[in-house]
Amino acid sequence: MKKEKFLISIVVIMFFSLCLAFNNNAMGALRQDADAAMELTTIRKNLSVYSKMKPEDAKEFYEDSLNELQVIIDMFAGTEEALEATFYIGATHNILKNFDEAIAYFDDVLSLQNEIDQNFKARLLYFKAQALIGTGNIEEAKDVITELRIIEPGAANAFGKELGGTMRLGMHAPDFHTEDSNGSPISLSQFEGKIIVMHFWASWNDQCLEKLPEIQGLYRKFKGPEVQFIGISRDDEIDDLQGVILQKNIEWPQIFEGMRYKGMMSKLYDVRNIPITFVLDRQGRVQYIGSKNEKITQVLTTLIVKGEKKSGY
């Protein structure tokens, strides 16, 4: 119950701090309509008043606003105001805890990638992540937050408490000092300045074995002086790990953790399920936690491009 109240309060606060500051030129490819803008201004003012009421007392007023926003969409299709109204409907559904409906409206606007600027997209991603958390879909919420971090890191950092756990996006990954499967010393700090891909897995896990070719593909695509891959194995016996290393020709260093879910590395990085991959930027900050190949590729590509721009290449 406390978590629900916290979520609603955050949604309401962010809704009015971000939405009322909306930039009318955020969708330059669409035409503007003065009548629609006037209607939208009135609805925004009303929503601001409702935010000061208890959610249960304001429910009927919010529902009226949803109808009014839909009228703007129907009457002024193809305008900036209609697209903005779609966003407001999604955000209002968030307040009413109609999270699935909210996500559908946010996705409608996000599908128009060429019509919206980055600031508006950041608002959409923020509220979509809130809605996904409301539905309990934490993994997809993390993916949305990863995309948001690329545009607006400050907004992405607001999700620490909702996501819970020791590790979260934006925090500095804890250092470790241990040995790899060959007995050589290995630590996170020895790769300072590099982009790090840390992959937790085990050969006894079927999903991990299915995922392994994707990780190998990522390694072949991104290996080089800028990117360092590290595997963390939860195999019961080191012979099991070494057998897979030889059989699958795994080239990046592997840390044999053993102990299944009770190993040092798993505790340090709050890993409960495998396979899972962490991507760290050059400053050692967590930029991705998950297992989606396309998202890992996106984050790595973005980090590499940022490094090239910073170095002047």
Question: pLDDT class for 263, splitting at 50, 70, 90?
Answer: confident
CA separation for the pair 169, 160 (Å, rounded): 8
Structural domains of the chain sorted by starting position, each given as residue range(s) with its CATH number in brackets: 2-163 (1.25.40.10), 177-311 (3.40.30.10)
Structure tokens at 280: 């760290």
Give the 3-state secondary structure of residue 149: helix
186-236 per-position pLDDT tens digit: 999 899 999 999 999 999 999 999 999 999 999 999 999 999 999 999 998
CA separation for the pair 11, 16 (Å, rounded): 9
The DSSP code sequence of 50-95 is HTTS-HHHHHHHHHHHHHHHHHHHHHTTTBHHHHHHHHHHHHHHHH
The pLDDT value given to residue 86: 94
73-114 per-position pLDDT tens digit: 999 998 999 999 999 999 999 888 899 999 999 999 999 877
State which H helix or E strand residue 200 sits in: strand 195-201
Residue corresponding to tokens 């609603």: 8
Is 176 exposed, middle or buried (CB count within 10 Å of its CB: 0-12, 13-18, 19+)?
Answer: middle
